[in-house]
Amino acid sequence: MSAPFDSDTINPACPVVETEAGVRLTEATPPGHHLPPISSVVRPVTRTILATVTPEGKAGEDTGPDLGFLDTAMRPVPSFPLDALPAGVRDLIAGMAQGQRTHPAFLVTSVLATLAAAVGTSAHLQINAEWREPSAMWALLVGASGSGKSVSMRQTVNVLTEIGLGALRQTVPDPNREAVAQMVRAEQLRRTRRKIREGLDQDEVDFSSYRLPEAAAPPPGLITCTSTTLSGILDKLQAQPRGLLLAQADVIGLLRGATLRSDEGRAALLQGYDGDPYVRERANGAQILPALLLSLCGGVQPDKLKHVVGHEDDGLFARSLITYPQIVRDTDLPSRSAPATKRFEGVLRQAYALPASPSAFGGHPVLITEHAWRAVGPASRRWAAEASETTGMLASTYNRATTQALRLAFVLAILDHALADKAGLPPSVGDAYVRSAIRLLDENYLPSAERALDAAQARPDPDADLRAIAIFIARAVEGFDFNVRELREARRAPCYRDRAAWEKAVDRLLRLGCIAEAPRRNRTGRTRADYQAHPAFLSAARKAWSAASA
């Protein structure tokens, strides 16, 4: 039996309220009793021991209980690993950040998503004969208003929009020529109808030799799209076989709109990540889109994340590269020198000039080298292990990490190739780009996804019941002694009358050194389930309850 705590060392006398079950609930910290900050008592990593007995039962030093399960703070995100980027890409980002202050995580993510959309169906990554990845990327920039999300999109997405508008202006037909062409097509159609009527009068049954006048080819459409309806997106894809970049400064209107929230709209949106053919049912028959290829770049504020994430794991969150950096306000004015946006514009124009293919995998294949493929293996196995240890959207995110790494490496190779003033596409994706992509995922995108799930309260929390029971115990006890049976029968008790949940929680608290079995005065008859709480545990649990109630 573990040694009980010395209840004479501290006297946490607290105001209490009597419940119907006779349990006293602590409602506030008493005057003059100052609880230590939770950071001073929470030890998130080191497993500690009971008063004088370690979890293995060996005598040891009293280092206090392990209180990490009480810490519900969002996971902090380390600084963006700029050193993981190729030298040319790193210089580009540094130059773009000087024009108008924004976080490099926002800039890098916007640059990669925009370039992926500009490449579109003109190229794809070839892993083997069966496995191919299209040039499509989904990016969500998470930050408060004024954190620089829109700034990064103006330097990337807006540049691609201007390139598309310029191409449209050059293809605007002469009004007179267009009017004459329409008259010619109308006359051809009238004559064809007359021949068909004459053929029917003569009992003709074979009309295969007749040809309708071909409609004028549509002008090249914009790659960027701000439409929030499925029909609007499909109409633009019909005129733009390269694919589309769905761009919204606030993605709530896009992802939670009436059309894309429907089953059909959501399914079409998710299909756009892989670029598969799409059959569109219309009143005049089915319409086939050879490639429903969609990239996405948008911003979202932290308090709106729950509306984007939702409650069901349909794969949208796992498909997205989430960047949620710690924003530190820079009080210095930006540089007045010419920003590097012009340099990135040249990269986009080079990608835009590549010939688009009607299908997602009909364009130029870019191979991955053997060394690069070997570099993927250890990271892929590690991400699979992480996925097996969790559930829900976080598990899906880790399961898709390998795909994300391959697509990131593909776009990084194209960007670095263009920044080196080389024409066309890179012949292959080497291991340096794969290692860069793995670091970006490990140090920014995956931690950001966990932080976003924390903000949306959608991350699996295996300690939720334990934390609720522990806080209830800390509020209920007067002094240090308590009885588990009495507590779980209290009306406002968490896991009310759930014996299994309480036994599991008590066992955890015993092993963590938060409580100890009280001395038994009578060893005959029914076990009383009396325990003593560690003073540090009581202080930390009450502090956690006060923080949650604030």
Residues 47 and 125 in one domain: no
Residues 367 and 245 in one domain: yes
Confidence class for position 332, pLDDT limits 50, 70, 90: low
237-241, 435-439, 518-522: lowest mean pLDDT where?
518-522
- How far apart CA 93 and CA 81 sit, in angstroms, is 12
Instruction: Give the strand pairing for 515-517 and 530-533.
Output: antiparallel
Q: Which domain holds residue 23?
A: 16-71+462-549
Residue 55 lies in a domain: yes
Q: Is residue 3 part of a domain?
A: no
Shared-domain flag, residues 151 and 187: no
Our count of domains for the chain comes to 3
Lowest mean pLDDT among 260-269, 274-283, 365-374: 260-269
Residue with tokens 């700034």: 151
pLDDT reported for residue 7: 42
CB-count burial class (<10 Å; 0-12, 13-18, 19+) for 190: exposed
Helix (H, G, I), strand (E, B) or coil at 225: strand
3-state secondary structure 336-383: CCCCCHHHHHHHHHHHHCCCCCCCCCCCEEEEECHHHHHHHHHHHHHH
Confirm if 84 and 267 have CB atoms less than 8 A apart.
Answer: no
Q: Do 306 and 338 have their domain in common?
A: yes
12: tokens are: 């946490």
Give the pLDDT band (50/70/90) at residue 127. very high
What tokens appear for 271 in the block? 């299909």
Rounded to an integer, what is the distance from CA 462 to the centroid of its chain? 21
* Same domain, residue pair 276 and 310: yes
Note whether residue 211 is domain-resident.
no
Give me the pLDDT at residue 335, please. Answer: 62
3-state DSSP: the chain helix, strand, coil percent, rounded to 5?
45, 10, 40
Helical ranges in 429-527 per DSSP H: 431-440, 446-455, 464-476, 484-488, 499-512
**CA dist 31 → 12, 15, 529, 548 (Å):** 11, 10, 32, 20
